[in-house]
Amino acid sequence: MNYWKLKGVWISNRGKEQLQKLSIENIKSIAVIRHAALGDMVLTRNFLIEAKKLFPNAKITLSVVSNYTRGVPSDLIDILHTINLNDKNKNNIAHLVRSSKQLGDHDLIFDLATTSRSIWLCKLNKAKLKIGFPYRLTYRYLFYDITVPRSDVNFEADDMLSLLKPFGLKISYPLKFKMPGSSIVREKPYVLYFTSASTPDKCWPAENFADLIKLMSERFSDYDHLILKGVKEWESIESIIVKLKSNKNVFPLDSVSSVEDLISFVKGAKLVVSNDTSVRNIAITCEVPSVGIFFLTPPFRYQTQNPIHKVAYKSDCSIPGVLEVFNASQSLLNSKE
């Protein structure tokens, strides 16, 4: 296999030798390590779609950890490898060796996690080529054959695709994720809001959400405005609902009990407005217009090139205002009318 001489892409001497022995057609087995929660897991779909197109004869094994199995793209893989983190010996070398043996040997292994567990899974595996995007430069020499620069200023899905570019990937935009599932059908079109996040400090203030939803429900009075409740006790939406009790087209939504139900509600929405959460990433993968609100985590990691997705943030990392989020939301809904 010939390969592009790309500046910034590091290839070990072993990697160069292996590339000369391989061809696209004779790559029969690929392992993809993705130890990630729901939001990052669903963004992996595009990488798997493109990998299947690039290596048409390869079976794909996806490696996950037992505490992060929600949203696993089972429709895009051939084999699922799960590392049991309930094992009392989960952090010792014997457990890692067993996990590597269970994963099996492959032509290519892509590390899309770069965690302490995933890098050792790479190290212990006998894959012909090990490809990753570690932040630490020293990791390239210790654990991989090919590494590609990774940065928090890039969309996460694009960073994953960069691992396929040394093999000649032809990318088409906007990215496609082919999320399965059907839309919820309601009498009126609706906007879906998610006011929570993985931690309280990533949540836009509740009073801001109340003010935003009030503006949106009045400007788009022909729409229902559904507020999705989180699963934890601190994720209450009661204070927001109380402030909006006079708005007759605003409704709490606390009946979503599974990822499949969540995907259905997202697919049926005309717009999703959310903090930096899995809900917005699901909107991206369902190709439903979205506005993401960022102030604690870098917005660029989830700022796709698809114009139907917007991010609201301030350049100084402070909390964006209500009007900023409203204007982004309004522009997307106006474009659909």
Q: Which residue has the tokens 């599974």?
A: 258
Cβ neighbours of residue 85 closer than 8 Å, sequence gap 6 or more? 65, 66, 67
Dihedral class, residue 119 (left if φ above 0, else alpha if ψ from -120 to 50, else beta) = alpha
What distances in angstroms separate CA 123 from CA 29, 35, 89, 268, 319, one per listed residue? 17, 16, 19, 43, 42
Report the Cα 54 to chain-centroid distance in Å: 21
Q: For each of the chain's 337 residues, which pLDDT tens digit applies? A: 877 788 889 999 999 999 999 999 999 999 999 999 999 999 999 999 999 999 999 999 999 999 999 999 999 999 999 998 887 767 778 888 888 899 999 999 999 999 999 999 999 999 999 999 999 889 999 999 999 999 999 999 999 999 999 999 988 889 999 999 999 989 999 999 999 998 999 999 999 999 999 999 999 999 999 999 988 888 899 999 999 999 999 999 987 889 999 999 999 999 999 999 999 999 999 999 999 999 988 999 999 999 999 999 999 999 999 999 999 999 999 986 5
Asked if 195 contacts 209 with a C-beta cutoff of 8 angstroms, the reply is yes
**Is-same-fold flag (10-167; 190-336)?**
yes
* Domain edges within the chain: 10-167, 190-336
Cis peptide before 174 (omega within 30 of 0): yes
Name the CATH code of domain 190-336 (choices 3.30.1360.70, 3.40.50.460, 3.40.50.2000, 3.90.1300.10).
3.40.50.2000
**CA atoms of 76 and 60, how far apart (whole Å):** 8
Q: pTM of this prediction?
A: 0.94
State the CATH class of domain 10-167: alpha beta
Element spanning 129, H or E: strand 129-132
**CA atoms of 125 and 100, how far apart (whole Å):** 6
